[in-house]
């Protein structure tokens, strides 16, 4: 398994007889079968993954059938899915609890972190339950420790995203039709089926080519032209307003559009978590940021409630998670009763998240002294898709 999931070329892709998918057609994978396909660099990573999976929703567990393995390694960054081997690779920065565990995780920055630095706007996102953040940020470089409850939701969000890729490229209904003599790459790319992200792009496409060009700068590191460098936060938001993207990362590729929308829908359905998004004016001094420096050009709270976004997300829940009609109907009804709220342009990102309980107000006020922590809400893409074409 180690040899097969660390390949980096099409020619090295292993045959399905050596590295089969975990699923076997109509039967859902068991926890034991999933754990048998777990490859880690440190034992605690496997233990933590197992602790989280035990209480995971059945709809998430089912999604592992379309993977070949789960890799968790101290130097995996960013998390990713590759059609060369059909496995998901997870960054353990989300999984550590103790200081000793934390010290085994690489502190190297995501290679994409500097992309788009010359753009005049930043994209922010906040996962929220009601009026409060769904989880707290922790630093790899300090002595902080965490509880299992601190990592459950961010890990679920990452798994939904990466497993969406796996189920997009290898649909559940194809698992029983595979030829063991084919390689994993051949099964994914030469099968007689259409990827769901292609169907989504055809039936409900994202319409803004300008945002696709800007996303190539922010997430692929392409050099911006004068027209991209002139785009302001309010204009970028106007381009997205009325479009069906879940967030800016949706414009990166069709596959990321699908995975982002699916993860957002699953976080709401199973955990009651909403996604708030916004285009923010880039502060003049990123080394000394306060909350007041993060001026919103355009933003919304509860993005999933946008009718166009919700319509696409419901389709993905039907196709990828086999969500029952009754559950989908309730979700749609609940979101129609709690529509998305347009943020107040010209006010700060923090001000647009006020009307908070006292404890959250105190933490927000503290950001005036440590505003750099807020920069972690600059949209960090959840993972990267490799060798998908």
User: CB-hemisphere CA count at 13 Å for 380?
Assistant: 18
Portion of the chain with pLDDT greater than 90, in percent: 83
pLDDT in tens, 233-262: 999 999 999 899 999 999 999 999 999 999
Mean pLDDT, rounded, for 112-133? 93
Q: What is the pTM of this model?
A: 0.94
Residues 363, 365, 370: CA angle, nearest 5 degrees:
80
Cα 64 to chain centroid, rounded: 16
Q: How far is CA 273 from CA 111, 135, 329, 373, in A?
A: 28, 10, 18, 21
State pLDDT tens for residues 173-194: 999 999 999 999 999 999 889 9
| Residue 358: pLDDT over 50 | no
Higher confidence at residue 386 or residue 36?
36
d(CA 385, CA 252): 10
Instruction: Output the pLDDT for position 156.
Output: 98
**Rounded mean pLDDT of 306-335?**
97
pLDDT at 379: 76
pLDDT at res. 242: 86
The structural domains of the chain, with segments of one domain joined by +, span: 2-102, 121-382
Whether residue 18 is predicted with pLDDT greater than 70 in this model: the reply is: yes
Residue 116 backbone zone (phi > 0: left; psi -120 to 50: alpha; other: beta): left
User: Under a CB-based contact definition with an 8 Å cutoff, are residues 38 and 32 in contact?
Assistant: no
């Amino acid at each position: 398994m180690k040899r097969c999931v660390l390949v980096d070329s099409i020619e090295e892709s292993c045959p399905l007889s050596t590295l089969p998918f975990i699923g076997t057609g109509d039967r859902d994978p068991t926890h034991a079968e999933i754990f048998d396909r777990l490859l880690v660099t440190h034992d605690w990573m496997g233990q933590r993954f197992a602790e989280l999976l035990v209480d995971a929703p059945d709809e998430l567990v089912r999604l592992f059938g379309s993977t070949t393995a789960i890799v968790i390694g101290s130097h995996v960054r960013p998390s990713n899915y590759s059609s060369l081997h059909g496995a998901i690779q997870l960054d353990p920065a989300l999984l550590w609890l103790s200081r000793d565990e934390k010290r085994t995780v690489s502190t190297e920055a995501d290679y994409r972190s500097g992309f788009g630095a010359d753009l005049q706007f930043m994209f922010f996102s906040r996962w929220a339950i009601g009026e409060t953040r769904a989880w707290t940020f922790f630093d790899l470089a300090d002595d902080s420790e965490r509880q299992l409850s601190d990592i459950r939701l961010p890990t679920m969000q990452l798994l939904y995203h990466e497993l969406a890729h796996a189920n997009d490229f290898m649909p559940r209904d194809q698992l029983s039709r595979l030829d063991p003599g084919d390689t994993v790459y051949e099964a994914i790319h030469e099968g007689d089926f259409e990827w769901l992200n292609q169907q989504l792009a055809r039936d409900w496409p994202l319409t803004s080519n300008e945002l696709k060009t800007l996303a190539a700068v922010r997430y692929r590191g392409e050099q911006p032209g004068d027209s991209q460098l002139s785009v302001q936060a309010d204009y970028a938001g106007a381009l997205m307003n009325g479009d069906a993207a879940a967030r800016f990362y949706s414009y990166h590729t069709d596959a990321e559009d699908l995975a982002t929308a699916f993860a957002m829908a699953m976080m709401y359905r199973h955990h009651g978590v909403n996604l708030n998004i916004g285009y923010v004016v880039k502060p003049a001094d990123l080394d000394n940021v306060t909350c007041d420096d993060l001026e919103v050009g355009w933003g919304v709270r509860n993005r999933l409630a946008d009718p166009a976004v919700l319509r696409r997300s419901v389709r993905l829940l039907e196709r990828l998670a086999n969500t029952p009609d009754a559950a989908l109907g309730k979700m749609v009804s609940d979101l129609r009763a709690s529509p998305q709220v347009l943020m107040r342009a010209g006010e700060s990102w923090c001000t647009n998240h006020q009307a908070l309980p006292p404890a959250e107000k105190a933490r927000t006020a503290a950001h005036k002294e440590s505003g750099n922590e807020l920069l972690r809400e600059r949209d960090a893409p959840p993972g990267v898709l490799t060798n998908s074409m």
